[in-house]
Amino acid sequence: MPPQAPYGYPGPGMPPPVPPRHGAGKVWALIGAVAGVVVLGGIAAAVAFSGGGGPAGPKYRVTVPQTLADGRYTLAKDISAQASSSVPHDGANEHGIQSVGGQYANGTKSLVMVGIYGTIDDPRTTVAHSISGMKSTPDTHVAVPEKEFTPSGGGAPLTCGVDVREEMGQKVTLEFCVWADSSTSGNVAETDADDLAKDPQSVDLQAFADTVGKIRSEARKPVG
């Protein structure tokens, strides 16, 4: 029986919030926790189906760089331990899974990236389960339905959308992108402390997909 995905808030698999910056501790704690629980819940759900065959061995792995997107985001907290304890190592579609993650800061923006690597039988199933897991977290609803975007810098399409989550009476707009291939999968989500409840329709998902395309290329590395 695989570990239960951390759908509750707060839950045992929830990563700690981004450290306070410039006196905005409550806001940073809120957005870091919201992004973390939604992303971790999604990635855990992707692998939370028992059964399946044995691993063939990954060709790529996911890393947690000190910076992302050409240095725009700086690592605030490595949450790989929380990801590893929350995400099953084997499922019906994923085998021999290792999990890593990080919370990053860019000015008032908080970004969470959680990745898995191992053997993935059907990447589309992994993407679908990841997004389903994010939707099923309490008090989270779909504001802009997900669809595929091709990053302007190249690479395979990403599946991106916008969710809105409510915590302690505060609505938080959360844009996200998910990818998966035969070796890796990643969930990336971002919130902005300057505009927590911004209009979901105003989010430029193509621009965010361009950013996540860079993040994928920087975090995804050949094994060995």
Pick from 60, 62, 127, 131: nearest CA to 93: 127
CA distances from 165 to 32, 43, 77, 125, 174 (A): 12, 17, 22, 24, 8
The pLDDT mean for the chain works out to 79
Q: Which of 10-19, 130-139, 167-176, 182-191 has the lowest average pLDDT?
A: 10-19
Backbone angles phi, psi at 73, to 5 degrees: -115, 135
CA 7/CA 134 separation, integer angstroms: 9
Q: How confident is the model at residue 141 (pLDDT cuts 50, 70, 90)?
A: confident
Q: How confident is the model at residue 19 (pLDDT cuts 50, 70, 90)?
A: very low
pLDDT at site 88: 81
Please list, in sequence order, all residues whose beta carbon lies within 8 angstroms of the beta carbon of residue 128, skipping any fewer than 6 positions away.
Answer: none
- Burial of 196-213, coded b for 16+ CB within 10 Å and e otherwise, reads bebebeebebeebbbbbb
Backbone angles phi, psi at 215, to 5 degrees: -60, -45
- DSSP single-letter state for residue 139: T
- DSSP single-letter state for residue 18: P
Backbone angles phi, psi at 219, to 5 degrees: -90, -25
Predicted TM-score (pTM) of the model is: 0.79
pLDDT at site 38: 54
Structure tokens at 113: 């990236």
CA 179/CA 177 separation, integer angstroms: 7
Task: Flag whether pLDDT at 161 surpasses 50.
Answer: yes
Task: Flag whether pLDDT at 14 surpasses 80.
Answer: no
The listed range with the strongest mean pLDDT (23-27, 38-42, 113-117, 144-148) is 144-148
CA distances from 200 to 30, 140, 143 (A): 18, 13, 6
pLDDT at site 118: 92
Tell how far CA 159 is from the center of its chain.
12
Q: How confident is the model at residue 67 (pLDDT cuts 50, 70, 90)?
A: very high
112 or 12, which is more confident? 112
Task: Flag whether pLDDT at 53 surpasses 70.
Answer: no
Task: Flag whether pLDDT at 43 surpasses 60.
Answer: no
pLDDT at site 208: 98
CA 77/CA 66 separation, integer angstroms: 10
Domains of the chain, each with CATH number or no CATH:
25-222 (3.40.1000)
